[in-house]
Amino acid sequence: MTDVIDLVELGEGFSRDPHPVYARLRERGPVHRVRPLGSEPGHQTWLVVGYEAARAALADPRLSKDPAGIGLTFLDDELIGKYLLTTDPPQHTRLRSLVTRAFTARRVEALRPRIGRITDGLLDAMLPLGRADLVASFAYPLPITVICELLGVPELDRAAFREMSTEVVAPSDAESEHDAIVRLAAYLTDLIEDKRCAGPADDLLSDLIRTTSEDGDRLSAEELRGMAYLLLVAGHETTVNLLANAVLALLTHPGQLAALRADMSLIDGAVEEALRWEGPVGNATFRYAVEPLEIDGVPVGKGDTVMVCLTAADRDPARHPDPHRFDIRRETRGHLAFGHGIHYCLGAPLARLEARTALASLLERAPALALDGPPGDWLPGRLVRGVRSLPIRW
């Protein structure tokens, strides 16, 4: 009989700092049976905490992303529709191909000047104050502005969208999550219809409406809603936490901060180490075993769910020596903060561009940047990893 580890019982201390628990689990083996955060009593899943096992599980086609493969249906499937994180090949291949046509590397690179201007505008407003909450004043408004401008979300809608989005990825409770998904689905349906009626426009969502493949294939209304949902939610929530976590790491490691200030060519390494050390996504979304398999010798039954812990895998000493040390000069290649395999994050280049731009400008313009008190609570749930607030002064 496999022991079940109840992560919910570990309380707020685990949410704040799960790394000692994950280290103890890794010492016992790379795969464990757990009750995950945010779940009802009795709910169990396999948790993968070792790097090699995690990398293999992320790319294993026997672990489906579509819950329908084992007869499950969830509210977001019914209201939002299928999207990249809830589909397998060939449907996933088709969807990714269509969105990649519109969300190109050239399009991301073309955003560089605009990201710089948004960053400077936010700092112009924040720096005269002397102190602020980094999340509210900088880490949140930068990516929400970028992704909403990219997709064509009206400025007046952004505050309401942020509230709905946060409740989806870090729900307060099941009822609030349900309400947020219902409202978000209705909002996206109306937004897509408005854009369809308005005709050609220079934004990504309008491009996705028009995009066709060589054989004439295009996204359905349901698929457009699912794609907009994924790009909007994942396109800003993760970057908010990447920025806040990176600043928190630097401010609590003054030697590393000093090294970066002395040589800003280390900015890429600082972003990658922040992704590895405390990435913005704690766990990948569930996978579902469509046939019996083994993960590093542990038998997983057909119909079982599997959760790959990116936070734990990226602190595996077998992959990254002295993994709890934050080191911006570290060799971080192969970290799993953006996933691995066919579900590797589509928006990784945009997140990296925003993080490098924002951190470089913040450090240059606030040479005396420091913490102004303890960070706020860590976000609840199992998906995202970040703090609600980060008080800073300069």
Q: Report which of residues 160 and 293 the model is more confident about.
A: 293
Which residues share a beta bridge with 299? 294
**Per-residue pLDDT, 284:** 96
Give the pLDDT band of residue 213 (cuts 50, 70, 90). Answer: low
Between residues 278 and 71, which one has the greater pLDDT? 278
What single-letter DSSP state applies at residue 138?
A: I
- Of 29-38, 188-197, 254-263, the least confident: 188-197
Can you give the pLDDT at residue 273? 98
CB 308 within 8 A of CB 314: no
CA triple 355-359-363, angle to 5 deg? 180
For residue 378, report the phi and psi dihedrals to the nearest 5 degrees: -75, 145
Work out the angle between the directed axes of helices 348-365 and 254-262 (0-180°, nearest 10): 90
Gap between the Cα atoms of 311 and 301, Å rounded: 25
* Displacement of CA 144 from its chain's centroid (Å): 13
Q: What tokens does 158 get?
A: 């952004």
pLDDT tier at 98 (50, 70, 90 boundaries)?
confident
Which one is predicted more confidently, 280 or 172? Answer: 280
List C-alpha distances in Å: 146 to 27, 137, 143, 155, 332. Answer: 42, 15, 5, 11, 27
Contacts of range 325-329, beta carbons closer than 8 Å, 24 or more positions apart: 326/249, 326/253, 326/256, 326/273, 326/277, 327/256, 327/273, 328/256, 328/259, 328/260, 328/266, 328/269, 328/270, 328/273, 329/259, 329/266, 329/269
CA gap 279, 23 in Å, rounded: 16
List of long-range contacts for 76-82, beta carbons under 8 Å, 24+ apart? 76/168, 76/181, 76/229, 79/181, 79/182, 79/185, 80/181, 80/184, 80/185, 80/188, 80/225, 80/226, 80/229, 81/222, 81/223, 81/225, 81/226, 81/229, 82/222, 82/223, 82/226
Cα 303–306–310 angle (5° rounding)?
165
Contact 52, 30 (CB under 8 A): yes
The percentage of the chain sitting over the pLDDT mark of 70, rounded to a whole number, equals: 99
What contacts 14, CB < 8 A, 6 or more positions away? 7, 21, 37
Please give the DSSP secondary-structure letter assigned to residue 68.
G
User: What is the assigned CATH class of domain 4-393?
Assistant: mainly alpha
pLDDT in tens, 156-189: 788 888 888 888 877 878 888 888 889 989 999 9
Amino acid, single-letter form, for residue 247: V
Residue 219 has pLDDT above 60, yes or no: yes
Neighbours of 324 (CB within 10 A): 11
- pLDDT, average across residues 326-353: 96
d(CA 225, CA 231): 10
Helix, strand, coil share (%) of the chain residues, nearest 5: 55, 10, 35
